[in-house]
Amino acid sequence: MSYRIALNFEDGVTRFVDCNEGETVLDAAFRQKVNLPMDCSDGVCGTCKCRAESGRFELGDDYIDEALTEDEAAGGLVLTCQMTVESDCVLSVPVASTACKIAPQGFEATVAEIAPHADAAVVLELETEAAPDFLPGQYVNIDVPGAGLARSYSFSSAPGERRMQFLIKKIPDGVMGSYLARAKPGDALTVTGPMGSFYLREVSRPLLFLAGGTGLAPFLSMLEVLARQESQERIHLVYGVTRDQDLVLVEALEAYAARLPWFSYATVVADAGSAHPRKGWVTQHMPGELLEPGGFDAYLCGPPPMVDAVRGWFAENGIEPASFHYEKFTPNAVLKATA
C-alpha cells in the first residue's frame, strides 16, 4: 500500500511524494529525487526534523532523545528518517525548497470556461490531463499569454479534479482581466504550483473562516473537502465585501449549508449606503459563542487592510484561536501566508 505525503517547504512550495508501507518518509522522498534535510539518517542528529500537520504515522524507538525529545514529539515534530506512515500526511519542512534543490512544478492547462460576475469577478475554469495535487487553500501562478507575467490565484475547487476553478477579481485594465476578455475555450496556459502555507489543517475543533472579496476562493476549496469528509465540526464563515455587487458565489455557500449540517455563513457589506441586512466589517459580525479562547481554529484570507484589521481586533479583544492561519493578497499577487 502507498500513501501520499505533502511536503510543504518554508517558502510555500509544496511537493507530493508517494510513501510505501514500512518505508521511511526520508527514503521515499529521496527515491523520488526530493532531498530532504539530513545528516545521519539514523535518528541521531535531528537534522531531518519536520512538523506533522496531519495524518497517522509511527516513529518507533530507534532514535535518541537529543534528536527528538518527548516534548517535541508530543508537539507534532517528527524525524523523517524514522517516520513511517499509516495514512496520507502533510509535513511542514523548516527550510526553503531551494535548499533541497526543489523548484515549483509546472503543468499545462486549457481554458474550459470563463464566467463573469458583473464588474466584480470572473470564475475561470481550467482543465488538465491529470488532476493536480494541492492542499485545499493553496494557490498557483498562472502565466498570462503574451504578457511575460504571471498572476497568483487560489484554487476554489477541491484537489483531485481535472477541472480546476479560480475566482479572479476584475481589475480595470488588469493584465489577467485583459487577457480573459479575449480568451476562448481551448486556449493553453502554463500553471506553476501548488504553493502556499495557507491550507486546511486537520480539523479537531470548530472553524471560523473570514473571507474578504475574492479571498472567498480558498474557503470554497476547503468547504468542498470538508463536505466530502462529512465533517461534524461547527464551521462558520463571514464573507465581507465593499459593495453589494461584490457578493459572488453566494449560491455555492447555500449549497454547502445544505450539505454540511454544521456549516453557517454571514455576508457583510461595508458600503454604508447598502440595503444589505449586515453592514460594516467582518469583526462586527462574528458569533461571540464561537470565540472561546483556544476553542476554535481561525482562517483569514483577504486584502492586507482587512487582514491587519482582523489581527488587530483579535489582539485588542483578547481573542486567541487555538491556531490562526492567514493570507494577505493584492489583486496581482499573494503577499504573505503564515500559520
The 10s digit of each residue's pLDDT in 112-129 is 999 999 999 999 999 999
Q: Which residues are paired to 111 by β-bridges? A: 126
pLDDT of residue 332: 59
Least confident of 94-103, 156-165, 258-267, 296-305: 94-103
Question: Above 80 in pLDDT, residue 48?
Answer: yes
Q: Give per-residue pLDDT as tens, 3-23.
A: 999 999 999 899 999 999 999
Of the candidates 319, 230, 238, the one whose C-alpha atom is nearest the C-alpha of residue 285 is 238
Q: What percent of the chain has pLDDT over 90?
A: 89
Dihedral sign, Cα of residue 273, residue 276, residue 279, residue 282? negative
Of the candidates 5, 19, 86, the one whose C-alpha atom is nearest the C-alpha of residue 50 is 5
Q: Give per-residue pLDDT as tens, 195-211.
A: 999 999 999 999 999 99
Binned at pLDDT 50, 70 and 90, residue 101 comes out as: confident
Domains annotated for the chain, with CATH where assigned, are: 2-100 (3.10.20.30), 106-195 (2.40.30.10), 207-338 (3.40.50.80)
Predicted model pTM: 0.92
Is residue 48 within 8 Å of 41, Cβ to Cβ? yes
Question: Above 70 in pLDDT, residue 334?
Answer: no
Binned at pLDDT 50, 70 and 90, residue 336 comes out as: very low
